[in-house]
Chains A and B, each alone.
Chain A
Amino acid sequence: MTIELKSAVKTIRGITHIKPTSLVLETGHFNVLLGQTGSGKTSLIKLMAGLDPLASGEVWMDGRDVSKLSTQKRNISLVHQFFVNYPQMTVFDNIASPLRVAGMAKSEIQGRVEEAADILQLRPMLNRRPQELSGGQQQRCALARAIAKESRAVFLDEPLANLDYKLREELREQLPELFAERGAVVVYATSEPEEALLLGGRTALMDDGVVTQFGPTAEIYRKPGNLTAARVFSDPPINAARMSKVGTTATLDTGASWTVSGAAADLADGDYTLAIRPHHVTPVPAGTDYVKLSGKVLVTELSGSESSAHFELGAEGWVSLAHGVHPYEVGEAHDFYMDASQAFYFSEDGRLVA
């Protein structure tokens, strides 16, 4: 089972929502679409689902061109961020609705619905109406409908975004298992980098209506192809600063300088953009090669065992994320240390060079 996009383009009233995109999505692992709000994740899903027409290009499923096929005939499921269930039907009827439309035998429907209900722990609620359920249960009902249908492709469009923290964690753990042996292509859209990392599989980074990078999630995290990709795949946002390199000496615009090593040492002399994830910028140096930076602390946050500090570095706002509780004085200058060996270097045109 595969879904293949061949330079698919989507335009609505003259505005291009999806620029020419080619992508092969396979079964056996989660395919995560990661991008900020408005980057085109939902648009891309709608294209694949056949809910919106292609302006040009093709969509293939299982080696067959389905570009002209209606949504119903593509045999897909879609779970939304909002809990979409038929309000007047019971949970049982909601899960059974696509099977009934498909004209399946009563006994088989019963079996499939009960199986899906068991997986999602909805057994006791089968006779209730959606509005009598909690948000998490409503979303589980929508998920059960997708599972019972046993469709060829399952699209999950930020399905956990409207759930509370606890439920989100719980469902996120269950989701990969739920779909693991079903043989469907699972596409999962999210705006949270952490979610992409936890769900694993493959990730397609999206930005401004185009897939900028696609590959195994961990690999993309380690090697974001360009600065935009690095920004999308970092939460809190990645720190960036202008930098120049002469010989083996790198100097930030703000004055800090250090001796570069590793792949960065082979870079030609010139100007680059350095980017580094917040947890590689700490208030205490963990090694002798850490580069000392100094800036005025603007905001501090303490979340559980981690403290983060937003500080000014030249004209840029930087973030430090470190374990433990650290005494910051808002408005005062504070020293931070950057693990330069973990930094990304981008060329002037934004490509990753080291």
Chain B
Amino acid sequence: MKTENQKAWFFVLPVLLLVAFNALVPIMTVVNYSVQETFGNNVFFWQGLDWFEQILRSDRFQAALGRQFLFTFLILIIEIPLGIIIALSMPKKGMWVPVCLVLMALPMLIPWNVVGAMWNIFTLPKIGLLGYFMNDVLGVNYDMTQDPLAAWITIIVMDVWHWTSLVVLLSYAGLVSIPDAYYQAAKIDGASPWKVFRYIQLPKMKTVLTIAILLRFMDSFNIYTEPFVLTGGGPGNSTTLLSIDLVKIALGQFDLGPAAAMSLIYFAITLLVSWLFYTLMTKDDAK
């Protein structure tokens, strides 16, 4: 006779506890704030979905969301192709491989707030190397503290500098895993370099590129530290991305209810877009 009991649940318990503390409890706290008005001394009033409605209707949120999408779109459209091109031009074997890999990894090793500070000092007019060079040597009017366009260009270039390496390293890993036999087959058929890329390298890089695009989407969509240190969201609100706006509401104005509602909306959007990306990119394999 087989004895049946419920002991197996004990084995699930550790994971349950971990997930609870890791995700469930913090999120529920946020959900809690998002449906109530909070006063001092822990006095709460039920608000229902008012905060969500208020956030979704507010021009401020819509503008920040628009900027966020624009930022993410721009960095993806620059970093992904650029990363692939750099990976393709890196040596596949020999003594330069480790050198290239270390050089590529360097920007990613720098703490994020240091990246922001570096670029701030680098680009300040008069003081910064780049600022001085652009204004006083080239005579181009460049001031990211005053000019929104200059500020945008600067945060985009900074992110490209900081994170293209990730795409490079992932693509490179995909590239070196392609057996020589494929290149030989292409050579025998007389395929052009474009066809080699289109029919051998790209399909073989697909998995890692999916990961690269997802990671870059999520990271850039949630970006906070570097642009905050670099521009502080300015000039005006021109580089106030979603997370910067969120922190302004939550900590600057201490509006916990709206901030919590905005957090949840923010989270939902990130999740939804990631899911869309993933589904679209892996559609072919599922067949």
Q: Taking A82-B181, A84-B181 as contacts, is the C-beta distance between A49 and B188 under 8 angstroms? A: yes
Q: Are A101 and B190 in contact (CB under 8 A)?
A: yes
Q: Taking A84-B181, A84-B182 as contacts, is the C-beta distance between A78 and B188 under 8 angstroms? A: yes
Contacts of B179 in A (CB 8 A): 82, 84
B74 touches A (CB below 8 Å)? no
**CA–CA, A173 to B206, complex, Å?**
38
Q: Are B200 and A98 in contact (CB under 8 A)?
A: no
Closest to A74 in B: B188
Contacts of A174 in B (CB 8 A): none
Contact of A87 among B188, B204, B287 (CB under 8 A): B204
Question: How many chain-A residues does the 8 Å CB contact rule pick out?
Answer: 20
Contact of B185 among A46, A78, A132 (CB under 8 A): A78
Contact of A89 among B181, B182, B199, B204 (CB under 8 A): B199
Contacts of A46 in B (CB 8 A): 184
Q: Are B204 and A84 in contact (CB under 8 A)?
A: no
Q: Are A102 and B184 in contact (CB under 8 A)?
A: no
B187 touches A (CB below 8 Å)? yes
Q: Are B182 and A98 in contact (CB under 8 A)?
A: no
Closest to A83 in B: B181
Q: Enumerate A1-60 residues with CB–CB distance to B below 8 Å.
A: 46, 49, 51
Most interface-central of B179, B188, B203, B204 (chain A CB within 10 A): B188
Contacts of B202 in A (CB 8 A): 88
Q: Are B184 and A78 in contact (CB under 8 A)?
A: yes
Q: Enumerate A59-89 residues with CB–CB distance to B below 8 Å.
A: 71-72, 76-78, 80, 82, 84, 86-89
**CA–CA, A308 to B65, complex, Å?**
76
Contacts of A97 in B (CB 8 A): 189, 191
Q: Are A88 and B185 in contact (CB under 8 A)?
A: no
Contact of A102 among B181, B185, B190, B199 (CB under 8 A): B190
Q: Quick one: CB contact mask for B209-241 with A, threshold 8 Å, 1 for yes?
A: 000000000000000000000000000000000
Contacts of B200 in A (CB 8 A): 86-87
Closest to B191 in A: A101
**CA–CA, A71 to B189, complex, Å?**
9
B283 to chain A minimum Cβ distance, whole angstroms, is: 13
Contacts of A102 in B (CB 8 A): 190
Q: Are A87 and B203 in contact (CB under 8 A)?
A: yes
Q: Taking A82-B181, A84-B181, A87-B204 as contacts, is the C-beta distance between A77 and B199 under 8 angstroms? A: no
**CA–CA, A223 to B104, complex, Å?**
59
Contacts of B204 in A (CB 8 A): 87
**CA–CA, A194 to B283, complex, Å?**
45
Q: Are A51 and B189 in contact (CB under 8 A)?
A: no
**CA–CA, A84 to B182, complex, Å?**
6
**CA–CA, A237 to B254, complex, Å?**
83
Q: Are B187 and A71 in contact (CB under 8 A)?
A: yes
**CA–CA, A88 to B201, complex, Å?**
11
Q: Are B190 and A77 in contact (CB under 8 A)?
A: no
Q: Quick one: CB contact mask for A99-134 with B, threshold 8 Å, 1 for yes?
A: 001100000000000000000000000000000100
Closest to B180 in A: A51
Contacts of A88 in B (CB 8 A): 199, 202-203
Contacts of B184 in A (CB 8 A): 46, 49, 51, 71, 78, 80, 84
**CA–CA, A84 to B199, complex, Å?**
12
B189 to chain A minimum Cβ distance, whole angstroms, is: 4
Contact of B181 among A71, A72, A80 (CB under 8 A): A80
Q: Are B187 and A51 in contact (CB under 8 A)?
A: yes
Contacts of A49 in B (CB 8 A): 184, 188
Contacts of B203 in A (CB 8 A): 86-88
Q: Are A76 and B190 in contact (CB under 8 A)?
A: no
B92 to chain A minimum Cβ distance, whole angstroms, is: 15
A349 to chain B minimum Cβ distance, whole angstroms, is: 39
Closest to A132 in B: B287
**CA–CA, A82 to B202, complex, Å?**
20
Q: Quick one: CB contact mask for B172-199 with A, threshold 8 Å, 1 for yes?
A: 0000000101101101111100010001
Q: Are B188 and A71 in contact (CB under 8 A)?
A: yes
Other than the given A87-B203, A102-B190, 6 more pairs (CB < 8 A) read: A71-B188, A82-B181, A84-B184, A97-B189, A101-B190, A101-B191
Q: Across chains A and B, which 7 residue pairs bring their CB atoms closest together, nearest first?
A: A72-B190, A98-B189, A87-B203, A88-B203, A80-B181, A84-B181, A86-B199
Q: List 17 A-B contacts (CB under 8 A).
A: A46-B184, A51-B187, A51-B188, A71-B184, A72-B189, A72-B190, A84-B181, A86-B185, A86-B199, A86-B200, A86-B203, A87-B200, A87-B203, A88-B199, A97-B191, A101-B189, A132-B287
